[in-house]
Amino acid sequence: MKISHIKLLSILSLAGFALSAPGSSSAMEGQVSRQQDIVNLQLGQRIKVDDGTCPAGKIKEISGAKMSPTGIVRAEKCIPRLGPKSK
């Protein structure tokens, strides 16, 4: 049985969309400049916020900590800012 080119392209396109879904590991961690820019935080997702509220050498990390009846509870903490390694 032969598959037409259009059907084959459709199948490959759907596979590409599935691999680039928002829940993929590449989209699980990011950085924003304001905490208000975080929308749809997922359970276990970690986002760094560079808003200057943490001491020097640290950056704020917001994570989806646990589920509650009203949605995902956020946890925030200041973590060491990892810069480029120096020799």
Q: What's the domain range around 58?
A: 25-80
The answer to whether residue 58 is domain-embedded is yes
Average per-residue pLDDT for the chain: 77
Asked if pLDDT for residue 17 goes beyond 80, the answer is no
Structural domain tally of the chain?
1
pLDDT band for position 78 (cuts 50, 70, 90): very high
Q: What's residue 19's pLDDT?
A: 41
Residue 9 lies in a domain: no
Report the range out of 16-20, 34-38, 53-57, 79-83 with the highest average pLDDT. Answer: 53-57
Q: Which of 82, 80, 76, 83 minimizes the C-alpha distance to 55?
A: 80
**Of 48, 42, 36, whose CA–CA distance to 80 is shortest?**
48
pLDDT band at 49 (very low <50, low <70, confident <90, very high): very high
Q: What is the separation of C-alpha 33 from the centre of its chain, rounded to a whole number of angstroms?
A: 14
In a domain, 8, yes or no: no
Q: What is the largest CA-CA distance in the chain?
A: 65
Classify residue 7: in a domain, yes or no.
no
Tell me how far apart the alpha carbons of residues 84 and 87 are, in angstroms, rounded to a whole number.
10
Residue closest to 64 by CA, chosen among 51, 50, 46: 46
In a domain, 54, yes or no: yes
